[in-house]
Structure 1
Amino acid sequence: MDWIMLAAGGLGLILFILSFFLKDRSKETEEELHELSMSLYQELYQLKKRTKLLEEELMIEPSAGAKKTKPKQINEILINQVLSLHKQGMKPDQISALSSLHVSDVRRIINQ
């Protein structure tokens, strides 16, 4: 019985000492996870930055001093919707708020 306890204790001591020399795989996994999360954060930041730039570009209106060009082509479906809303008694500014058109475009469609 004493031999079994001594053997188990010795084996435990050997395994304990051996554990200090073995490579810790959780550290590698933790480092890989950290690198992956940092790269994802960087990509997300760049995407948000690009989205913000695109939104700013789309919201910029031409300056008052810019030359007028010919009116943009408006889709037939949108024209029909504007006319239908006008027939229902909506005002051009209300129709403009509901559609993606400027008030002047709505008025031009109604007057045609």
Structure 2
Amino acid sequence: MSTAQQRLHREDTLFQLLNRLPGEDFGQQPACASDEVDPELFFPVSDQAQQQIAAAKRVCASCPVRQACLQFALHSDVEGLWGATTQQERKRLRREDSVAVAA
């Protein structure tokens, strides 16, 4: 399935999951589910990765479920940008968290 086919819709499982995440953001529509947002932004390709990442992070910055989305991504092995973080950034956050817990 191409990332273009991964656009979030209200009936999609991912959209429903994001709307059910606990916390203050419960029940809000993810910014990435907007019809104005291209889902390709959240799955950057190498030749335009930095531009896509920056654009995706701008969408995430105003998202009402950003924190819940990030928590989900930190506890899951998901690809793409989630909660305004890349896979590499989430790996670093997990390492930092495990170091802090061990200390």
Please classify the TM superposition score into its range, dividing by the shorter chain length.
under 0.3
Identify the structure with the greater helix proportion: 1
TM-score for the superposition, normalised by structure 1: 0.21
Q: Which has the higher contact order (CA 8 A, sep 6+)?
A: 2
Larger radius of gyration: 1
